[in-house]
Amino acid sequence: MLSIQTAILGFLMEGSLSGYDIKTRFESSVSHFFEASFGGIYPALHRMDRDGLVTKDVIAQDGRPNKNLFTITEAGRQAFHLQLESALQPELIRSDFLLRVFFGRHVAREQFIRWLEEERDRVVEKLLNLSGLGAQFPAMEPYERKTLEYGLSQYEAQLRWVNQEIEQVREGENG
């Protein structure tokens, strides 16, 4: 499975970045299928520095902590390409929501409806975020846009499903 390291190397292929910048990149592009926290990013960067995949430049700033600017090396580029040649791994999903739906008969209808509505709201929010991102950057890199469209189609299907379920369970209410 591609790790946080591959993703970081990929971001650094476009130019030098700080750990903070990288976190922002994660959030505004791949977060709907690949998440990362500071606790994962900073140690990964230091490991990569130690291993010669990146170099670190300390930029002094006034009024805020020094910024560590990381730049990918030739060895880093090679490592990136090598990692992309590894075997494709199946995606990893763990859905709290679906497990609750699966065991739905064990809870009251009101509880079940609350789950559906909460999930619907979450999906709507993700959908707005993603489509907003698409509209905000008309010149988005084509491959990046492909993953965005993938996300949109997934969320749209989820929304259709959840709306249909809400309708169905509401009909059952008067029965």
What does 46 bind: DNA, a copy of itself, none (CB cut-off 5 to 8 Å by kind)?
DNA
Strand partners, 67: 59
Residues numbered 91-130 forming contacts with a copy of itself, rule: CB under 8 A: 91-107, 111, 115, 118-119, 122
Strand partners, 71: 55
Give the nearer residue to a copy of itself in terms of CB position, either 35 or 51: 35
| 115 belongs to the binding site for DNA (CB under 7 A) | no
**Residue 4 tokens, joined:** 């946080």
> For the window 45-84, what string marks contact with DNA as x by the rule CB under 7 A?
xx--------------xxxxxxxx----------------
Class of residue 159 by CB neighbours under 10 A (exposed 0-12, middle 13-18, buried 19+): middle
Give the nearer residue to DNA in terms of CB position, either 3 or 95: 3
| 75 belongs to the binding site for a copy of itself (CB under 8 A) | no
* Cα–Cα nearest to 79, from 13, 147, 19, 24: 13
AA letter at 130: L
Give the nearer residue to DNA in terms of CB position, either 38 or 102: 38
Angle at 63 between CA 62 and CA 69, to 5 degrees: 60
Please report, as ranges, the residues that interact with DNA according to CB under 7 A: 1, 3-5, 18-21, 24, 35-40, 42-46, 61-68
